[in-house]
Amino acid sequence: MPEALSLLCRVPAHPESRCWALAWSPSGALLASCGGDRTSPRCPQSPQCPQCPHVPVSPCPGVPMSPVSPQVVATLEGHENEVKSVAWAPSGTLLATCSRDKSVWVWEVDEEEEEFECVSVLSAHTQDVKHVVWHPSLQLLASASYDDTVRLYREDDDDWLCCATLEGHTSTVWAVAWDSSGHRLVSCSDDRTLRVWQRPCPLPVTPPGVPCPLPDPVSPCVPSCPRSLPDPCPLTGAVATACGDDAVRVFEEVTPASPTAPVTFGLAAHVARAHAQDVNGVAWHPREPGLLATCGDDGDIAFWRYQRPEGL
Amino acid sequence: MAERFSAVLQLTDLDDFIAPSQECIKPVKVDTKAGKAAAKIRIEADGSYFQVNQDGEKQKLEKAKITLNDCLACSGCITSAESVLVSQQSHGELCKVLALNKAAAAQEQKVVVVSVSPQSRASLAARCKLGLLETAQRLTQFLKSLGVHYVFDTTFSRNFSLLESQREFVRRFHKQAEDKKALPMLASACPGWICYAEKTHGSFIIPHISTTKSPQQVMGSLVKGYFAEQQHLPPDRIYHVTVMPCYDKKLEASRPDFFNQEYQTRDVDCVITTGEVLKLLEQEGVSLSDVDPAPLDTMLGGAAEELSSHRGGGSGGFLEHVFTHAAKEIFGIHVGSIHYKPLKNKDVQEVTLERDGQVLLQFALAYGFRNIQNLVQKLKRGKCPYHYVEVMACPSGCLNGGGQIRLEGESSKEELQQVERLYDSPRAEIPEENRAVRELYQHWLGGWGSQRAQQMLHTQYHALERTNSALSIKW
């Protein structure tokens, strides 16, 4: 099975630190990663910022199959602490980051100039912000936080503002996701519930506290790693997981024995020591089938080539 | 309490929105003594801690103590320090001082001076639906009825800040070849920005910051220096209060650089915000429109008939004055009116001086945290094209400061426009032409650029090392 997932290259993107999450730009030209260095050797000249959280953006290993060695094209500085999550707007012109410093930042991207300018610093949350995600079609941003809320942001005049606060969870909200139409938002929390929120009026459509045990029963490794959701590839349907046991796994839907049999997934690839420490994030390339990026507590980003094994 | 400070300060630290002594991360020196390995610690009913050895011997344990100075010197948490500072500098504290003063023996009484910023005056005028001059006159009367002796206007001290900034810029411009950090020069009047720069970018950014004191701190030097001499009083016999549009000014007044060691007194003893003046009025049950107008005090004696202002907007006009002066002084070009070109948003604008298509001067204003952020990043990457930047921590600048009064039922945009109109209503004066300012330079400071002028009108900045204590890590 190892040959199903082969390593293309490995980049020490956040040396001496962790890398928390990854996001490909919609065109697939850039990969944004985020993390936080406690004692960063990357900025020895600035002892005032020992945290040195940064979001290096590496160009895609690209087409064809063998990637040129990825390079950091920009480091986005400004957050006062670890950067927990990063997300590209569908347009590719905006990037959002969130951090333990309780803030959410929106950056404007000039992909050609490789310039990133901060357009807004949003301090609506009162605690650590865990996850940011863009609406699939609108310029609407959602964030999840340790303050038990989800907040939505939109552009107003020449700044951004928090336009809704979704309250109801009784513990940390770890992650949020939109459905493909963008009408509904789902949030998952440490209170062991999922909540589904419906636009335009942000009310929960499920009664509060419907127990929906996390994690997802499909992927056996998620229990040890609640901070990252499994990533299904939009192109092939393969599901990749990041895991606290240092491993990266890929699951594929198994052709059912009969049309009435329940859908099952089978393990298609498993790299036991994909990273030297916990794996924190996985991201499939949006255009190139089977190109996978992973990141972990070792601060590395690894690029993989996945091929569905024969006879699965 | 923390949310009153500018966003820049709130963001500067993270584990910090705490009350003093609650979750302080300041590492405390512990004297360890070699001794018996095992001991129990017992908490007595009164809350004191005792160490009980195996043989039953009891020893009282010392409590770790954190002083205000520890707080201010620590980069860990600005908010613990500031909650202490806010209680030291409030309208309540002013009332206490005034009450004590009335009860004190004649030779122990202090002369109480209040210096009002023009931004605060405009905000109060908008709230009380009065003209600016009327507001100034009635506020003077109200403060005097409480026991204040003199009420001054920081527009006067701003003349010095503007003149010194102009001269400092020209000096820096001429030495840009040998000193890479001479330019861009960054404005120094905003304490929120200064605090952020010192804590987050320290020695990298400090050389760029103008050493000129802010109007508040120049006023401090004038009141505790010149005015005290005129009154034949030692500086500690004057209690100096400023009224400011901004909470961060309380932190500025507390900087050790503005503390007089010899007389153990601050240049500005207490800063209250515009909103706190309103509270004071409400507390006394007084409406400003019912107070009789009183003549306005001036520092050189005699009453002022009218108010004045400076050109260049509600944050003090630093960019405009430095620009006009530099154009004339360095290039011999007279600038009549200045054209501001808005960039990404209304809080970042550019001003350019050109001759025959060649850019001679390029200035910018950058207000609010996001624009400060982009400026700092540009500087770090060596991509900052500006000679001078007027940096202010608050979006829209000082008229929109955190200490200003929010009007009821009005949209913040209209409200701000109304305050701007009032602020701009007086005649704009030219600092070079102010006779009183010239006289002070000549007779009190000993001329332009004298050592005394340097000492009275300039200050310095200190990079703060971050405390890297494992205790500060919170999950």
Secondary structure (DSSP) of B133-167? HHHHHHHHHHHHHTT--EEEEHHHHHHHHHHHHHH
Distance CA B39, CA B267 (A): 51
Helices (H) and strands (E) counted in chain B, each on its own, are: 18, 18
Question: What is the least distance, in Å, from the CA of A245 to any CA of chain B?
Answer: 21
Residue B232 CB partners (closer than 8 Å, separation 6+)? none
d(C-alpha B186, C-alpha B361), whole Å: 14
Give the predicted TM-score (pTM) of the model.
0.78
Q: How close, in Å, is residue A151 to chain B by CA atoms?
A: 18
3-state secondary structure of A46: coil
| Chain A residues lying within 8 Å of B12, measured CB to CB | 80
Best of A75, A117, A156, A159 to mutate (most B CBs within 10 Å, chain B): A117
**Rounded to a whole number, what is the distance in Å from the CA of B402 to chain A's nearest CA?**
15
pLDDT of residue B125: 96
Residue B184 in contact with residue B323, Cβ under 8 Å?
Answer: no
What is the torsion angle, in degrees rounded to the nearest 10, for the CA atoms of residue B400, residue B403, residue B405 and residue B410? 40
Q: How far apart are CA B201 and CA B209, in angstroms?
A: 12
Q: How far is A78 from chain B (nearest CA, A)?
A: 7
| pLDDT value of position A113 | 67
User: Residues near A182 by Cβ (< 8 Å), separated by ≥ 6?
Assistant: A135, A136, A137, A138, A140, A199
Structure tokens at A4: 């199903």
Give residue-wise pLDDT tens across range B129-160: 999 999 999 999 999 999 999 999 999 999 99
How close is the nearest chain A Cα to the Cα of B75, in Å? Answer: 9
Q: Which residue of B has its CA nearest to A38?
A: B468
A123 with A103: CB under 8 angstroms?
A: yes
Please tell me if residue B369 touches chain A, with a CB cutoff of 8 Å. Answer: yes
Q: Give the containing element (helix H, strand E) for A96.
A: strand A94-99
Contacts of A121 in chain B (CB under 8 A): 7, 11, 369-370, 373
Judge whether B462 is closer than 8 Å to chain A, CB to CB. no
Cα–Cα distances in angstroms (integers) from residue A105 to residues A102, A131, A142, A150, B338, in the given order: 10, 12, 12, 15, 33
ipTM above 0.90, yes or no: no
On chain A, the residues whose CB falls within 8 A of the CB of B10 are: 123
Q: What is the pLDDT of residue B33?
A: 56
CB contact under 8 A, B373 and A121: yes
- For residue A50, give the nearest of B7, B199, B468 by CB distance: B468
Helix (H, G, I), strand (E, B) or coil at A202: coil
Q: Residue B460: what residue type? A: Q
- Asked if A199 and A215 count as a contact pair (C-beta separation under 8 A), the reply is no
DSSP state string for B262-322: TTTEESS-EEEEHHHHHHHHHHTT--GGGSPP-PEE-TTSSEESS-EE-SSTTTT-HHHHH
According to DSSP, the residues that pair with A268 across neighbouring strands are none
Minimum distance, in Å, between the CA of residue B309 and any CA atom of chain A: 29
Residue A40's pLDDT is 26
Q: Which residue of A has its CA nearest to B76?
A: A48
> Which of B14, B346, B370 minimises the CB distance to A120?
B370
Torsions phi, psi for A9 (to 5 deg): -165, 170
Measured between CB atoms, does B14 come within 8 Å of chain A?
A: yes
The answer to whether A121 contacts B370, with C-beta atoms less than 8 Å apart, is yes
CA distance B234 to chain A (A): 40
d(CA B331, CA A213): 73
- The minimum CA-CA distance between B443 and chain A, rounded to whole Å, is 43
Return the axis-axis angle of helices B274-283 and B91-103, rounded to nearest 10°. Answer: 50
Q: B344 in contact with A at a CB cutoff of 8 Å?
A: yes
pLDDT for B426: 95
Which residues does A contribute to its contact with B (CB < 8 Å)?
38-39, 45-50, 77-78, 80-81, 100-103, 108, 117-121, 123, 158-159
B77 vs chain A: nearest CA distance in angstroms?
A: 13
Closest chain A CA to residue B346: A158
Residue A280 Cα to chain centre, angstroms: 9
- CA distances to A10, B56, B122 from A272, rounded to whole Å, are 16, 56, 68
Nearest CB among A47, A77, A80 relative to B377 is that of A77
Asked whether B393 and B248 are in contact (CB, 8 A), the reply is yes
The pair of three-digit structure tokens given for residue B367, joined into one six-digit string:
């207000």
Among candidates A46, A117, A158 on the partner chain, residue whose Cβ is nearest the Cβ of B374: A117
Check residue A38 and give its pLDDT. Answer: 34
A-chain residues within 8 Å CB-CB of B200? 48-49, 80
Contacts of A72 in chain B (CB under 8 A): none
pLDDT tens per residue across span A151-202: 999 988 888 999 889 998 999 999 998 888 888 888 888 888 888 887 654 4
Would an 8 Å CB–CB cutoff place B252 in contact with chain A? no
CB pairs under 8 A between A and B: 63
| Inter-chain residue contact B202 with A80, CB threshold 8 Å | no
B231 touches chain A (CB under 8 A): no
- Rounded CA-CA distance A287/B23 in Å is 49
Q: Is B412 on the interface with A (CB under 8 A)?
A: no
For residue B7, the surrounding DSSP H or E stretch is helix B7-12
The answer to whether A202 and A188 have CB atoms below 8 angstroms apart is: no
Of A126, A11, A3, the residue nearest A58 (C-alpha): A11
List C-alpha distances in Å: A10 to A269, A274, B139: 18, 10, 68
Residues on chain A touching B346 (C-beta within 8 angstroms) = 158
Q: Closest Cα of chain B to A100: distance in Å?
A: 8
Distance CA B302, CA A228 (A): 72
Q: Nearest by CB to A119, which of B203, B344, B380?
A: B344
Residue in A with minimal Cα distance to B380: A77
A49 and B200 within 8 Å at the Cβ level: the answer is yes
Positions in chain A short of pLDDT 50: 1-2, 38-56, 58-68, 201-227
Look up residue B1 and give its amino acid: M
Query: Collapsing DSSP states into helix, strand and coil, what is residue A280?
Result: strand
Q: To the nearest 10°, report the CA torsion of B420, A117, A101, A156.
A: 50
* pLDDT value of position B43: 76
* B201·A50 Cβ contact <8 A: no
Which has the closest alpha carbon to A293: A25, A63, A22, A54? Answer: A22
Q: Which of A38, A80, A123 sits opposite B7 (nearest CB)?
A: A123
Q: How many CB atoms lie within 10 A of CB B408?
A: 7
Nearby residues of B435 by Cβ (< 8 Å), 6 or more positions away? none
d(CA B246, CA B119): 10
**A46:B202 CB<8 A:** yes
Low-confidence ranges of chain B (pLDDT < 50): 1-3, 11-23, 67-78, 468-475
Contact B201 A46 (CB under 8 A): yes
Residues of B in contact with A77 (CB under 8 A): 377, 380
Q: From the CA of A38, how many Å to the nearest CA of chain B?
A: 9
